[in-house]
Amino acid sequence: MPLLEFDIIRKYFSDITTKDNSANIHVGIGDDAAIVSIPENKKLVVCTDTLNEGVHFPSHTSAYDIAYKALAVNLSDLAAMGAMPKWFTLNLSLPEVNKDWLADFSKGLQQLSRQYQLNLIGGDTTRGALSISITLAGHVDNSQALLRSGAKVGDKVYLSGCTGEAAYGLACLSASAVVSQTEQYFVSRLNQPTARVNLGLSLLGVANACIDISDGLVADVTHIAESSQCGIELDLNAIPLPAIADKEQALECALSGGDDYELAFTVALSMQAGLKQLIRQTDLPITCIGEVVATPGVQLLDNGRPVDLPRTGYEHFK
Ligand code: ADP
Ligand code: MG
């Protein structure tokens, strides 16, 4: 018996919910739309991201990894706002109905949903080229939300973890069908990125501005500089590099590679004590990589001397 649209929804997507009452779901999957309520003193925060085969993931990526990544990239957007994620919808376009693929895809969604107590509350299922679009919603304290526009001259610029690992993972996959065990780490950073949700939440009241690094470190800190109407100086020698042998490639990946989903944020000097405490409480490396300045633009400095910037981030319509 072929599976029809409603069977697919019931079998693979109707049970991705937590028993957590704080999600306040009044109507979930099954009606024309979902109804939820948010805590009285909070604001709704919503983001959406699409993954297309061949653009956002290589064609042979497993269904599990595709689902994982589709949810993780959205979690990263809410993390960058300092928001608590709660509900998501899934628009799935499939070239064919493949039960093994759907079961694996559903498992990838389950994994992250359990980890972050997320609830799938609706979506749309259609036939077409493989494309996954997730809309994630949650809540945030409006007065504290982390925006790109809040950076102030004199703030220090920080980065969680290390950028460039996912880009190197993609390079490994492109170079050879078989990846070594060391390369596998980088491939997993590409396929199963970790959204820094807890870091985003703990930056509330500490950071002035924040962005998640999806297009590349330089490209994304440029967004902070532009939105905040200031400039950013990055210290070339402070930027953490992926652990790969070719140092030139490591630097290029770190500066321009996309898909890492680390957070870059700025913190005022007066908030350094709060930041230090936060750093003590997390296992994640947090590195000071630069400073917010008055002169517009992003400038890379090598021992105080300006150096040329490499190519900037990924741009779909270039
Ligand atoms: P409508 O025709 O009213 O748009 P649908 O037939 O598209 O309704 O969907 C029926 C129900 O199943 C709705 O509640 C919808 O949100 C949900 N749904 C459809 N596709 C998905 C999906 N891929 N994941 C989660 N829920 C889905
Ligand atoms: Mg519909």
What is the per-residue pLDDT across 1-16, written as a single tens digit (0 to 9) for each?
677 888 999 999 999 9
C-alpha separations of 249 from 21, 41, 54, 237 in Å: 48, 47, 23, 15
Question: By the 8 A CB rule, do 170 and 314 touch?
Answer: no
What single string gives the DSSP state of each residue in 38-52?
Answer: --TT-EEEEEEEEEE
Q: How far is the CA of 124 from the centre of ligand 2 (A)?
A: 5
Q: Which ligand is nearest to the CA of 29?
A: 1
Q: Whose CA is nearest to atom 20 of ligand 1?
A: 124
pLDDT band at 135 (very low <50, low <70, confident <90, very high): very high
- To which H or E segment does residue 116 belong? helix 99-116
Give the residue among 108, 95, 106 at the shortest CA–CA distance from 53.
95
Which atom number of ligand 1 is nearest to the Cα of residue 91? 23
Q: How far is the CA of 40 from the centre of ligand 1 (A)?
A: 28
pLDDT band at 177 (very low <50, low <70, confident <90, very high): confident
Distance between CA 266 and CA 154 in Å, rounded? 9
User: What is the rounded average pLDDT of the residues 25-52?
Assistant: 96
Q: How far is the CA of 117 from the centre of ligand 2 (A)?
A: 25
Q: Whose CA is nearest to atom 10 of ligand 1?
A: 30
Q: Which ligand is nearest to the CA of 12?
A: 1
Ordered by where they begin, the domains of the chain are 5-141 (3.30.1330.10), 148-304 (3.90.650.10)
pLDDT at 308: 87
pLDDT at 313: 58
Which atom number of ligand 1 is nearest to the Cα of residue 28? 14
Residue 26 has pLDDT above 80, yes or no: yes
| Beta-ladder partners of 233 | 291, 299
**Which of 124, 131, 133, 134 should be mutated for ligand 1, with most atoms under 8 A from CB?**
124
Running DSSP on this structure, what letter comes out for residue 9? I
Distance between CA 53 and CA 281 in Å, rounded? 38
User: What is the rounded average pLDDT of the residues 211-219?
Assistant: 97
Residue 293 has pLDDT above 80, yes or no: yes
| Beta-ladder partners of 138 | 45, 85
DSSP, collapsed to helix, strand or coil, labels residue 246 as coil
pLDDT at 317: 63
Q: What does the longest C-alpha to C-alpha distance in the chain come to?
A: 68
Whole-number mean pLDDT of the chain?
94
Question: By the 8 A CB rule, do 95 and 126 touch?
Answer: no
Running DSSP on this structure, what letter comes out for residue 86? E
Residue whose token pair is 């042979």: 60
Please give the structure tokens belonging to residue 110: 């389950």
pLDDT band at 222 (very low <50, low <70, confident <90, very high): very high
pLDDT at 196: 98
**Share of residues in the chain with pLDDT > 90 (%):** 89
Residue 103 has pLDDT above 80, yes or no: yes
Q: How far is the CA of 193 from the centre of ligand 1 (A)?
A: 27
Q: Cβ of 21: how many Cβ atoms within 10 Å?
A: 7
Q: Which ligand is nearest to the CA of 67?
A: 1
By the 10 Å C-beta count (0-12 exposed, 13-18 middle, 19+ buried), 269 is classed as exposed
Within 8 A by CB and 6+ apart from 50, the residues are 56, 131, 132, 133
pLDDT band at 94 (very low <50, low <70, confident <90, very high): very high
User: What is the rounded average pLDDT of the residues 181-198?
Assistant: 96
User: What are the pocket residues of ligand 1 if the criterion is a CB atom closer than 6 Å to any ligand atom?
Assistant: 9, 13, 29-32, 90, 92, 120, 122-125
Within 8 A by CB and 6+ apart from 305, the residues are none
**Share of residues in the chain with pLDDT > 70 (%):** 97
Q: Whose CA is nearest to atom 4 of ligand 1?
A: 32
Distance between CA 296 and CA 291 in Å, rounded? 12
Q: Whose CA is nearest to atom 18 of ligand 1?
A: 123
By the 10 Å C-beta count (0-12 exposed, 13-18 middle, 19+ buried), 11 is classed as middle
pLDDT band at 312 (very low <50, low <70, confident <90, very high): low
Backbone angles phi, psi at 191, to 5 degrees: -85, -30
pLDDT band at 193 (very low <50, low <70, confident <90, very high): very high
User: What is the rounded average pLDDT of the residues 184-196?
Assistant: 97
Residue 24 has pLDDT above 60, yes or no: yes
